[in-house]
Every structure is written in C-alpha cells, then in structure tokens.
Amino acid sequence: MRRACAGLALFSALLLAQGPAEAQTQGTSRAPAKPQQSAAPPAQEAPPPPYEPQLLRLSEILGAMAWLREICGDKDGDQWRAGMRKLMEAEAQTEPRRERLAGAYNRGFRSYETLYRSCTPNAQTIIGRFLDEGEKLANEITGRFGGG
C-alpha cells in the first residue's frame, strides 16, 4: 500500500507539474459556416509533443491501475481516475489528442478488466511492475521535457 501511495504521488506530481500544454492551434475562430459559402478545410492538428508516446503509455497504466487496485482491495481506483482527469486537463488541448489519451486509458482499464475478475498473485505483480514503469515514465517526462 505504501509503495502504491508513493507511485500515485509521483504520478500526481507529474500531472501537476505538467501544467497546460501550449495551444495546439493558431488563433482559429469557430464561427458557424454560412450556408452559401463552401466550408473551409478543417485545420490540421499540430504535431504531438515529443513526449506523446510516454503520455499514452502513462495513460494506459493509469487505466490498468484504476481496475487492478480496486479488485485487489486497495479501493483507490478513484484516485487513479482523478490522476487521468488531471492529465487530460493539462494535456488534451484538442479533441483528437483527448481521444488518444482517453483511448489509451480505456484500453488499459478494459484489458485488465477482461483478464482479471479478482485479485491474484499475478495481478499484484503487475501492479508492482506498473508502479515501477509509471515512475520511470514520470521521471523521463519531467527530466527530459521539463515540467519539474
């Protein structure tokens, strides 16, 4: 339990340190198109930040932890979900990015929800591995890309 709290604290620290991402689009307005005018092509999304793969993996881990910690009796799944909400608030500035991050979280949650219906020794091992991997990702993101 103590290790999980430390892991969650580290994840939370990462999420709080991230702060809002830079705007992904350049000053576009969202005025409704007039019927007589042809619609302009949709603005292209800015390229993702260089730490996008790490954030997607961290999102997946947060989803898996939300499920696994609940079934293993720790009852702190809400804290892992709250961590994901913070990550989304800080990083999901566009709808496509929001969908990618939420998709990774849901993939992690559903994958383990399908595989584990109760806590097993293997589930406990996975929790430990995810805590280690999440810590490594958090350190890599903050160390290499700022935010801390």
pLDDT at 79 over 70: yes
Which pLDDT belongs to residue 26?
A: 33
**Cα radius of gyration (the chain):** 18
Which pLDDT belongs to residue 22?
A: 33
pLDDT at 1 over 50: no
Residue-wise pLDDT for 84-131, tens only, equals 999 999 888 899 999 999 999 999 999 999 999 999 999 999 999 999
Could you give phi then psi for residue 18, rounded to 5 degrees? -60, -45
The whole-number average pLDDT for the span 63-67 is 96
Which pLDDT belongs to residue 93?
A: 86
Question: Minimal CA–CA distance to 106: which of 88, 90, 126?
Answer: 88
Is the separation of the CB atoms in 134 and 11 below 8 Å?
Answer: yes
Work out the percent of the chain whose per-residue pLDDT is above 90. Answer: 55
Is the separation of the CB atoms in 67 and 113 below 8 Å?
Answer: yes
Is the separation of the CB atoms in 66 and 7 below 8 Å?
Answer: no
The whole-number average pLDDT for the span 23-36 is 38
Is the separation of the CB atoms in 72 and 124 below 8 Å?
Answer: yes
Q: Is the whole-model pTM more than 0.75?
A: no
The DSSP output letter for 24 is S
Which pLDDT belongs to residue 47?
A: 86
Could you tell me which residue, 133 or 35, shows the higher pLDDT? 133
d(CA 18, CA 9) in angstroms, rounded, equals: 14
Could you tell me which residue, 21 or 96, shows the higher pLDDT? 96
Which pLDDT belongs to residue 33?
A: 44
